[in-house]
Structure 1
């Protein structure tokens, strides 16, 4: 980060300006051409034009940097949103899997209970135990459905 700002500072302080086919380098209040300080030899109008061009280049560079930062921030926010959506989808899939598993268990146990009941192999005590067991599976299914609705 420090290197970036140093580079930006050097770029801002030493900017090349092309005017009338000549390349001028502006450093602070001085104008250089081919490495020589020509600030005093230029007419005031030429100096003003070169400094004005330099100022516009600096403004454009700053605006470009701001746009780059905004784009980076937008990209970062988009990545965060994508990760959040992926996480939500994963949670929803997990919740759906839990509903499917609880539903399958409940149905299996209910079928088993019905077979035992129809064959007459259940005593009144066993019937009460099965009723309690089926209520537990039903409660698990309802909890799983509630989680799915929240996800």
Structure 2
């Protein structure tokens, strides 16, 4: 069983090492230094120029495949960096929106507090507040002050 697995691995590795090259409409298979056509070894029948031409085509093909892999890796890396930048930008926008909302909440709470104080002072000045109304107004103003302080602390 082990021998069968080893044999399959060897055949697979040899197959991986074989490269096919198309030269002048003919398909050659190059395994190390041997050149095959249709499964037959034709290394000895080729001229030196033909061998060099086939090997040059093979080298060009291998170089192009390597460059293609490098480009794909660079594209993948660039996409990853872009996603990271987009994520960082979204986080920044979210923090900015949160700050703007906190500012608006603070301004709103502060305005309510100021308006309530003014109205209380106006009613007190005219003498239109009963003791019960005055305690209600003071409680209301106190709650608005707490709300304003809370909004300021979030800011």
Same fold (TM over 0.5): yes
Aligned position for 1:137: 148
Aligned position for 2:45: 41
Say which SS state the counterpart of residue 42 (structure 1) adopts.
coil
| TM-score using structure 1 length | 0.72
Aligned position for 2:59: 55
1:56 and 1:74 map into 2 onto residues whose CA distance is 26
Residue by residue over 1:56-96, the C-alpha shift from the partner in whole angstroms, topping out at 9 and shown as x without a partner, is 11111111111111111111111111111111111111111
1:90 aligns with 2:94: yes
Please tell me whether Structure 1 or Structure 2 has the larger radius of gyration of its CA atoms: 2
| TM-score using structure 2 length | 0.71
- Equivalent position to 2:28, from 20, 24, 28: 24
Task: Give the superposition deviation at 1:35.
Answer: 1.6
Q: CA RMSD in A?
A: 2.9
2:112 and 2:32 map into 1 onto residues whose CA distance is 84
Say which SS state the counterpart of residue 45 (structure 2) adopts.
coil
Task: Give the superposition deviation at 1:143.
Answer: 6.1
Equivalences, count: 132
Say which SS state the counterpart of residue 59 (structure 2) adopts.
helix
- Equivalent position to 1:109, from 104, 113, 116: 113
2:148 and 2:23 map into 1 onto residues whose CA distance is 84
1:68 and 1:44 map into 2 onto residues whose CA distance is 36
- Equivalent position to 2:18, from 14, 20, 31: 14
Aligned position for 2:7: none
